[in-house]
Structure 1
Amino acid sequence: MLQITRDDLQPVLAVHQGTQALRGAVEGAGPPPRLLSVIARYIQFNSAFGPGLANLAGEIAARQGLFQDPEEVVRILADRAAEVAADFFYAAVDEFDDRATPWRDTHRTLAQATLKGMGSFFGYTPAQLNDVLHVNPATEDAMDLVWEGYGVGASLEEARLFRAMGFHTGSEILADQEFVVLDQTLRARRPDMVAALEKMKIPILGERHNAYYWVRIHTGVEAEHFDAALKGVNNALRFYAGREPVAMVKGWILEGFRTFADVQGEFMARLGEP
């Protein structure tokens, strides 16, 4: 059975420079306003993925005729679209409700708490942050490309659906690397800030959120999300019941993976610009 393995992804990963660009942007952001803007841009970029992924999971689950189990003799029960979608939706669950906190915490809320906490550490009031934070056009462009990659608002033909699966797979393996680098760099460059954030609680929507939790949790969950995405694309290949050769479908997935690497790389290259 044709599958996608880490070896298929390695040629792209071997030459990808996005994560190194992230490190450089954080290391090069000396004054607090620069560092706050770099983190704000990264947080904004990440906010595009939750809606994109939820949309993709729904698009997959709705294609019952496209994903069929040939071993199921009851035809009306042979669809496996929900099974394929589940491995993508797995990451969306965390985006909209982090399972490790006692209340409903979206990752967007946790990211907002991190940025507010950093601003507080540097002595800014929330109102003052409006004049400090600068989100560049490259960030907004990258968000649009993420939504395009996931197919948000589009009518997805087969090729684009499978490219979106590969796009998401790329986002997870690179995000795992990103957050590890972000955590390492912040701890090395601003250990005082990280120590303060780890103890700080930021009130948002009636709950008090740890100001460093968003960074810390992502140094582990993204690896799990990548494993789920890889399982999802391989289930998509396993149960594919369309008319195209499975080798072509695999090629679409890998095209999507490469597209995300390009989007992430371009965004990271401009992350630290003035």
Structure 2
Amino acid sequence: MAESADLTAAQVSQASLRALVDFDAARQRVRDRLAQLTDGSQLLRFFVHYASWNGHFANGVSALSSLLGSSRNLFREEGFPRAVADRSNYIASYFFDAARDEYDDHINPARDSHRCMAQAALISMKDFFKLGDDALEEDEPAELVAVNDGVLAGYTGQPAVADGRAAQAFWAIGYHLGSELLADQEFSLIDEHLRAQQPALVHHLMRSTVQLAGGTHRCYAWVGVHSGHGGGVEADHFDYALEGAHSALRFLVGGDTATAVQALNNGFRAFERDHASFFRIGAA
């Protein structure tokens, strides 16, 4: 079992995933997009779009957990009778950790979903820039709707459905790994940009709270807990997901790990493409 664990860790690692995409280019497109936000209205519109996109990931990772957990015939441990051999829920547990945090950060005494955190930030930004409620009423552009729809497709491995349940599951795992690895760096870049270019806004957000959904929500918590400079939850979620990927490979029925890793890598690349698509929305 130790030899098998070493093999799966070598097949999928942070280094192997980073080699699949140009992370320098990904960081630069975030910086370039932020640099174009020259007034309060533009900044708020960007964050409305960003919060909308981010708001779909809790549902996506929940769907991934369900997809994996219901795949009993796909993940089994050798040497055990059928009724006690499936490891699908065990594997799903590594991904459910991310969903649990998305729905409640467990720091705020109130139930504080990351969606509520984002909404508190948007309300406080609107007030800081003295913008009306109309700024939060705009319809979502078609490009954003398409990227948002892509989240659930990626998290359920829909592009790989025709290749079988294993390819679907590992594509979805790869998509999630991409979301966690790139999200940590993008929130860190956003945090850096705001602190350097909008210090008064950051000061306002850090001192402000908003009442919504029956609770009090801190207005900079959304950026703070996701940034590597703050709580860094994305980095923790990536580590959990990597362990989940290793377990999925180790317990994969049939042992075709090469095909599974290829599907996982394809899912990872798919997230990077969606990431690029989002940061083109509204760009000059």
The verdict on a shared fold, with TM-score over 0.5 as the criterion, is yes
Q: Unaligned 5+ residue runs, structure 1?
A: none
Among 169, 174, 182, the alignment partner of 1:166 is 174
Q: Please state if 1:269 is matched with 2:275.
A: no
Deviation at 1:129, TM superposition (A): 2.3
Equivalences for residues 25-64 of structure 1 within 5 A: 25-64=33-72
Q: Please state if 1:129 is matched with 2:135.
A: yes
Among 110, 118, 122, the alignment partner of 1:111 is 118
Q: Please state if 1:69 is matched with 2:77.
A: yes
Secondary structure, counterpart of 1:12 in structure 2: coil
Distance 1:157 1:151 in 2: 10
Letter in 1 for 2:197: R
Among 253, 256, 263, the alignment partner of 2:267 is 256
Deviation at 1:134, TM superposition (A): 6.4
Q: Unaligned 5+ residue runs, structure 2?
A: none
Deviation at 1:15, TM superposition (A): 5.0
Q: Please state if 1:14 is matched with 2:22.
A: yes
Secondary structure, counterpart of 1:17 in structure 2: helix
Deviation at 1:9, TM superposition (A): 0.9
Cα deviation, 1:223-244, whole Å, max 9, x if unaligned, reads 0000011111111001101x46
After TM superposition, the score normalised by the length of structure 2 is: 0.89
Shift of the 171–58 alpha-carbon distance from structure 1 to 2, 3 Å rule, reads same
The sequence identity of aligned pairs, in percent, is 33
Distance 2:265 2:170 in 1: 9
Secondary structure, counterpart of 1:70 in structure 2: coil
Shift of the 140–16 alpha-carbon distance from structure 1 to 2, 3 Å rule, reads farther
Cα deviation, 1:197-248, whole Å, max 9, x if unaligned, reads 000011102212111111001111000000011111111001101x462111
Letter in 1 for 2:239: D
Once the two structures are overlaid, the 10-residue window that deviates more, 2-11 or 193-202, is 2-11
Distance 1:88 1:271 in 2: 32
Deviation at 1:153, TM superposition (A): 8.6
Distance 1:49 1:79 in 2: 27
Secondary structure, counterpart of 2:261 in structure 1: helix
Distance 1:44 1:18 in 2: 20
Cα deviation, 1:143-181, whole Å, max 9, x if unaligned, reads 111111112899773211210110001000000111100
Distance 2:205 2:49 in 1: 19
Cα deviation, 1:82-103, whole Å, max 9, x if unaligned, reads 1100011110001111121112
When the two chains are superposed, the root-mean-square deviation of aligned CA atoms in Å is: 2.0
Shift of the 19–270 alpha-carbon distance from structure 1 to 2, 3 Å rule, reads farther
Letter in 2 for 1:27: A
**How many aligned residue pairs are there?**
269
Shift of the 165–152 alpha-carbon distance from structure 1 to 2, 3 Å rule, reads closer
Could you list the structure 1 runs, at least 4 aligned residues long, displaced by more than 4 angstroms after superposition: 152-156
Distance 2:101 2:278 in 1: 24
Deviation at 1:6, TM superposition (A): 1.7
